[in-house]
């Protein structure tokens, strides 16, 4: 009986709230908490808790509600996560995004940059100036400067960025989609460098022998 109950109790869920002082209109920073704890961003507020942003401006996000979630590279509409979005979210999560401060103005601009790369309009449209969903958005400029013409390509898991598709547990209907970041290894570069070092050492040993 205990074994039958355990999976339901441990079902992965996520709760998302607006981040005080860093939320602009219908967008901006969100604080997400997963149960059981999952590493989907820097654990700055305890296990399983991280900062995130919405992907889809046209879907309502109900805060203080537990959602189920899946991890992938597309949102509910089928749009793929873009490289520019992945780069921005990685830089945001590591605190390396130039000029970013956790306030309403900067959160609005970063949200606008995410919507720009994902091909979405600002919502509500009356706040379009604050989001600046355009190529002149300073965070769009940074991403294009770093990635060039590839900024609009599919991310394909780059930087460990993922889409968290939120699902209402009551009826299985779609909720908002938010960003997550899964830590990735260095791709084997450390092992490769160690191998080269060993090869070099062996060559020196033979010459000295």
- Mind listing the pLDDT tens digit of every residue in the chain (209 residues)? 343 433 444 579 999 999 999 999 989 999 999 999 999 998 888 999 999 999 999 888 888 789 999 999 999 999 999 999 999 999 999 999 999 999 999 999 999 999 999 999 999 999 999 999 999 999 999 999 999 999 999 999 999 999 999 999 989 999 989 999 998 765 433 333 334 333 343 443 444 44
User: Number of structural domains, the chain?
Assistant: 1
pLDDT score of 186: 53
Paired strand residues for 82: 154
Cα–Cα distance measured from residue 9 to residue 24, given in angstroms and rounded to the nearest whole number: 35
Model's pTM, two decimal places? 0.83
E strands within 79-173?
161-168
pLDDT score of 59: 86
Cα–Cα distance measured from residue 12 to residue 75, given in angstroms and rounded to the nearest whole number: 18
Instruction: Supply the range of the domain harboring residue 30.
Output: 2-208
Cα–Cα distance measured from residue 49 to residue 134, given in angstroms and rounded to the nearest whole number: 31
| Size (the chain), residues | 209
The H or E element containing residue 177 is strand 174-181
């Amino acid at each position: 009986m205990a074994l039958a109950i355990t999976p339901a109790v441990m079902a992965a869920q996520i709760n998302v709230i607006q981040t005080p002082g860093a939320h602009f209109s219908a967008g901006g920073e969100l604080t997400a908490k997963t149960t059981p704890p999952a590493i989907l961003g820097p654990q700055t507020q305890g296990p399983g808790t991280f900062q995130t942003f919405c992907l889809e401006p046209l879907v309502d996000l109900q805060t203080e509600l537990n959602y189920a979630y899946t991890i992938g590279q597309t949102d509910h509409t089928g749009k793929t996560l873009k490289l520019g979005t992945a780069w921005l979210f990685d830089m945001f999560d590591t605190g390396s995004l130039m000029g970013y401060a956790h306030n309403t103005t900067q959160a609005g601009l970063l949200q606008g940059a995410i919507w720009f790369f994902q091909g979405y309009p600002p919502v509500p449209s009356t706040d379009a100036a604050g989001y600046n969903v355009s190529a002149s958005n300073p965070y769009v400029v940074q991403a294009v400067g770093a990635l060039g013409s590839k900024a609009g390509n599919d991310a394909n898991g780059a930087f460990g960025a993922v889409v968290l598709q939120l699902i209402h547990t009551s009826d299985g209907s779609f909720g908002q989609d938010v960003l997550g970041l899964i830590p990735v290894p260095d791709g084997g570069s450390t092992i490769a460098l160690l191998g080269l070092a060993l090869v070099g050492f062996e060559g020196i040993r033979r010459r000295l022998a």
